[in-house]
Amino acid sequence: MIHITFVRHGRSQADDLRVHEGRFDSPLTEVGIQQAENRAKQFAEEGRKYDAILSSSMQRARHVGEIFSTHLNVPMTTHDELMERDNGPLQGLPFSESQHKYPMADFVNPYQPCVVSANEGESGVELFARASLALQSIIRRGRGRYLVVSHGRFMSAMFNVICGNQPRANEAGVQFAFHDLGYFDTTYRPDLDVWVIQSVR
């Protein structure tokens, strides 16, 4: 049996600045750090045990992973494949400016870059493929308990892979909203190819 807990990072400076995040490597705020401390303490009090912590290499996720590593006494490694969706020229751009500089297209098929007007950014298919390969990499570690620290959009993509939902035009379909330090617990039976989603919080 493979147990995987997916955790989203906490509040970052980009949230306070009201700018697009994505690949913008924004650090956690003091609020975000405290959110991570609280969740890590909760996990420790619940007696959760993990064999490894796998974190996105972006600092807002990496910092959360380090906090969990300290509280749970579990080694952490960073992985570029767990980074947030590549949003091209939107990264770090204020929300108030983005619609003027890069207006949203009326229709975006899942094969087009996410910022059509700039012809940049990960397409829905690319995001889905990367999420699939990230899950494959975790599963190939074999039996164990893993804590994965990542980002909202990418966690939603991994959740869609688990649920068998394909990318669709205009990002239609199922979207999963994970708030600061939101998490979901899963188990996977590789001998049966069965996922069980145990909790979403």
Q: Tokens 């049966």 belong to which residue?
A: 192
Higher pLDDT, 66 or 201: 66
Query: What CATH number does domain 2-200 carry, 3.40.640.10, 3.20.20.60, 3.40.50.1240, 3.30.70.380?
Result: 3.40.50.1240
Res 175: pLDDT: 85
CB 184 within 8 A of CB 197: yes
Q: Give which of 16, 116, 6 is closest to 65, Cα–Cα.
A: 6
187 has pLDDT over 90? yes
The pTM is what?
0.95
Please write the tens of the pLDDT for every residue from 145-165: 999 999 999 999 999 999 999
In whole angstroms, what is the distance from residue 60 CA to residue 87 CA?
17
> Count of residues for the chain?
201
CB 88 within 8 A of CB 98: no
Res 174: pLDDT: 85
Q: Give the confidence band of 51 by pLDDT, cuts at 50, 70, 90.
A: very high
Which residue type does 128 have?
A: F
Please write the tens of the pLDDT for every residue from 114-123: 999 999 999 9
140 has pLDDT over 90? yes
Which residue type does 167 have?
A: P
The predicted model gives 86-111 an average pLDDT of 94
Res 171: pLDDT: 87
Query: How is the chain split among helix, strand and coil, in percent rounded to 5?
Result: 40, 20, 40
Q: Taking the domains of the chain in order of start, what are their residue ranges?
A: 2-200
Q: In whole numbers, what is the pLDDT of the chain averaged over residues?
A: 96
Q: Give which of 147, 1, 162 is closest to 67, Cα–Cα.
A: 147
Please write the tens of the pLDDT for every residue from 55-87: 999 999 999 999 999 999 999 999 999 999 999
